[in-house]
Amino acid sequence: DTRHGDILYLDDITVSFDGFRALNKLTLDIAVGELRCIIGPNGAGKTTMMDVITGKTRPDAGTAFFGQTIDLTRLNEPTIAQIGIGRKFQKPTVFEAMTVAENLEIALKTDKSVWASLRARLSGQQRDRIDELLGLIRLGEQRQREAGLLSHGQKQWLEIGMLLAQEPKLLLLDEPVAGMTDAETEKTAELLLTLKGKHSLMVVEHDMAFVGAIAEKVTVLAEGSVLAEGSLAQVQADERVIEVYLGR
Ligand code: ADP
């Protein structure tokens, strides 16, 4: 049984859209503290897989276990977020008119409305946590800056910081370095490597240099199931992988 010690175990997941199988008996497991990269051509099912994990799409068959006992396919999106799965979409969605620190404040106080959050006083513990998060995402010097004035990369880090404020056990990141400069990409690699261990991460990414820099294990999806798994060098040398990337 490969489930022992897994944070996530997708077991034989099938998702059909009008008879078309976006996921076809997908089986995949991620260990606690692992940083896994997911690659695969367009249409491979990467987004659909994340939709299943976050409760946005209910599979036609199969189960998705979180922490070995919780079946995610029976829960709704807000519940899944609450029990510790954070998802970052490709585009940054920060509150542009608020400062960097205020964005993190709101994320820390998710039980309240945005308005109530800004009026409520921060506890000392929350203040410390904001400082810690600012350090982690390297935006300490930007804390009083309006988030709308940040660079694209800095906005992405801020959004990762906002997710971290909610103490996720598993983080799903969709193309985190798309549109970043090389320097920003490098810093993002460092950030994700820092998070590994304390959090488990699933990173969907097309930038192979970035994937090579962060991942021990890479999963290649194609046509809704796992085509290959291993180090980046291993999967890149795999004939079937080469074929799905080049052969159409
Ligand atoms: P990827 O993220 O790897 O590019 P997707 O999960 O977005 O792949 O899509 C997998 C396949 O499922 C694609 O062929 C896509 O067109 C199809 N698909 C995804 N969502 C829907 C939907 N809501 N309705 C119909 N087809 C969909």
Nearest CA to ligand 1 atom 21: 17
pTM to 2 decimal places:
0.93
Place of tokens 């004939």: 239
State in Å: Cα 48 to ligand 1 middle: 6
**Ligand 1, pocket residues at CB < 6 Å:** 17, 22, 40, 42-48
The answer to whether 3 and 9 are in contact (CB under 8 A) is yes
In this model, does residue 217 exceed pLDDT 80?
A: yes
State in Å: Cα 132 to ligand 1 middle: 38
Question: What average pLDDT does range 7-18 have in this prediction?
Answer: 97
State in Å: Cα 46 to ligand 1 middle: 8
Stretch (H or E) spanning 152: helix 152-165
State in Å: Cα 143 to ligand 1 middle: 38
Task: Supply φ then ψ for residue 26, to 5 degrees.
Answer: -75, 125
Question: What average pLDDT does range 90-103 have in this prediction?
Answer: 92
Start and end residues for every CATH 3.40.50.300 domain found in the chain:
6-91+170-246
pLDDT at 70: 95
Does residue 31 or residue 123 have the better pLDDT? 31
Q: How far apart are CA 22 and CA 15, in angstroms?
A: 6
Question: What average pLDDT does range 93-117 have in this prediction?
Answer: 83
Decide which of 2.60.40.650, 1.10.580.10, 3.40.190.10, 3.40.50.300 is the CATH code for 6-91+170-246. Answer: 3.40.50.300
State in Å: Cα 171 to ligand 1 middle: 21
pLDDT one-digit tens code per residue, 132-168: 999 999 999 999 999 999 999 999 999 999 999 999 9
β-strand 217-222 against 225-230: which pairing, if any?
antiparallel
ipTM for the assembly: 0.96
In ligand 1, which atom is closest to the CA atom of 44? 3
In ligand 1, which atom is closest to the CA atom of 18? 25
Nearest CA to ligand 1 atom 23: 17
Q: How many residues can be counted in the chain?
A: 248
